Amino acid sequence: MSVELRTADFTLITRYSSLAAIALAAILLALPTCLFAADPSLEPATPAPPEEPPSATTAWIDKLGLGGFVRSDYYSASKRLDDQRSLPGLTFQPKALPKFGSWGDAKIEWRITDDNLRNDSRFQGRMLEGYTNFYFGNVDLRVGKQIITWGRADALNPTDVLTPKDFTLLSARDEEERRIGTAALKANYYRGDYTLSLIWLPIFNPSTIPLTAPPGFQITEDKRSQGRWTEQGFAAKLDHTGGDFDWSVSYYYGLDVIPTGHSTTPTLTELTHNRIHMVGADFAKNLGRFGVRGEGAYVHTQDPDGTNIDVKNPYVYYVLGVDHDVTEDLNINLQAYQRFIINYQDMFKIQDPAVRNIAVLNVIFQQQMDRIQEGLSGRIKAQWWNDTLEAELLGVWNANRSDFFVRPSVSYAFTDRWKGFMGWDVFNGRKESLNGFLQNNSAFFAELRATF
């Protein structure tokens, strides 16, 4: 009897073996804490010997600041609008935080993931951040791939236009983890409670949106990531932190991380990224157990007259909200938002079906379906048992089209290293709405995470 091992089989075995080895290593690192914390009777009865000086290996690990997590998860549906169901996944996300002395430090973080172990094409490796900090008194520089987050509102951030996001990511903490770094040079100047940031973005990095081409149709994307002068971006921000009132004003001139579609043939659509100007501001003020937050932006586009269906219209977008600590373990956040589309055009009235379909998809993803869009967002978060058990309910409701997203979830910290998550992502609404369009992304999820 002979056995033939194909190249594809060998690649598959190697890939799964590598993921399994990574997961096993992280589990072995976390296992002692898990066992002893779960049952104190398993701890050694004899007193622990005196602590010895750290070994060369331990000192080396501490100096590099090595850490990260490994997680295993299950999602009942994909977030790519590809009709994939019942997805077991595995992710390894290591990071290093080396320090070079008082003059600098660095960060490098990778994500190696397979969000569907049954599918060969879902394996992905990506560097999330890789940068170095240099400190010069009241000035510091950050050079490299970095995540730059703007905005003080909760989740809905009109000024957060620099950092791309992966909206197809499957994670129980996708709000935090969907952000992707972009190559940048960032300089901060500190003076008292004020920070002035100047940012140069030499290489553009776009967001990943949940869009899969149907059979017989093709979608391409011009990511404009070659570093040409016309693709580079610039930003500035003045931030005040300290005292009773925090605020900032900001400006961005660069490409839009969210693409628009352009129909080149009846069976081919190209996604493109156009240049925008954003002028924004935010504030936050605490009043006892209440916090008031606001954020707004005006975005000027390459279609100020609203006549080009392949380019988004200029718009004004703002969020105003309040959060309240009902108790030390219960917080409620409620926000109202509005978006005004300047020189609005109704894309649903276009006569040509092929052109209308692309135009409608554009306004769905750009959230420009109505002249004035308004709605509410909210978050309720509660903790019990010394913060080991946590429940959260968050949601967004668009009043114009009555579409909504809601996520109930619960998490439990078994130990300092092990944590479990469970929840449900629910998208719903009319088909001609953002959350209605994403309805097939509704999914139950469960995740087990070990940090090290």
In terms of average pLDDT, the best of 26-30, 41-45, 130-134 is 130-134
Residue 25 has pLDDT above 80, yes or no: no
From the number of C-beta atoms within 10 Å of its C-beta (0-12, 13-18, 19+), residue 57 rates as exposed
The predicted pLDDT at position 429 comes to 95
Average pLDDT, the chain: 88
Quick one: tokens of 448?
């087990």
Nearest-CA neighbor of 445 among 85, 119, 9? 85
Among residues 355, 360, 356, the alpha carbon closest in space to that of 263 is found at: 355
Whether 95 shows a pLDDT value over 50: the answer reads yes
The position carrying tokens 């008082």 is 102
What value does the mean pLDDT take over residues 199-228? 92
Q: Give 148's strand partners.
A: none
Q: Per-domain residue ranges for the chain?
A: 7-40+66-451
Residue 72: its H or E element? strand 67-77
pLDDT bin (cut points 50, 70, 90) of residue 352 is confident
Determine which helix (DSSP H) or strand (DSSP E) holds 441, and give its type and residue range: none
pLDDT value at residue 54: 66
The yes-or-no verdict on residue 8 having pLDDT over 70 is no
List strand residue ranges (DSSP E) for 328-442, in order: 330-341, 372-384, 389-398, 403-413, 418-428
Give yes or no for residue 158 having a pLDDT over 90: yes
Say yes or no to pLDDT of 39 above 80: no
Q: What is the mean pLDDT of residues 282-292?
A: 94
Distances from the Cα of 450 to the Cαs of 26, 27, 120, 240, 420, in angstroms? Answer: 7, 7, 25, 37, 9
DSSP line for 154-193: SS--TT--SS-BBTT---TTHHHHTB--EEEEEEEEEETT
The pLDDT score that the predictor gives to residue 159 is 98
**Dihedral (CA of 435, 438, 444, 447) sign:** negative
pLDDT, tens only, 229-278: 999 999 999 999 988 899 999 999 999 999 999 888 888 999 999 999 99
Give the per-residue pLDDT at 44: 46
State how far the Cα of 123 lies from the Cα of 89, in Å rounded to an integer. Answer: 10
| pLDDT cut 90: percent of the chain above it | 75
Indicate the pLDDT class of residue 49, thresholds 50, 70 and 90. low
CB atoms within 10 A of CB 219: 14
18 pLDDT higher than 60: no
The tally of CA atoms less than 13 A away on the side-chain side of residue 288 is 4
Q: What is the pLDDT of residue 285?
A: 96
Tokens 């100096």 map to which residue?
63
Domain 7-40+66-451 homologous superfamily, CATH: Porin (2.40.160.10)
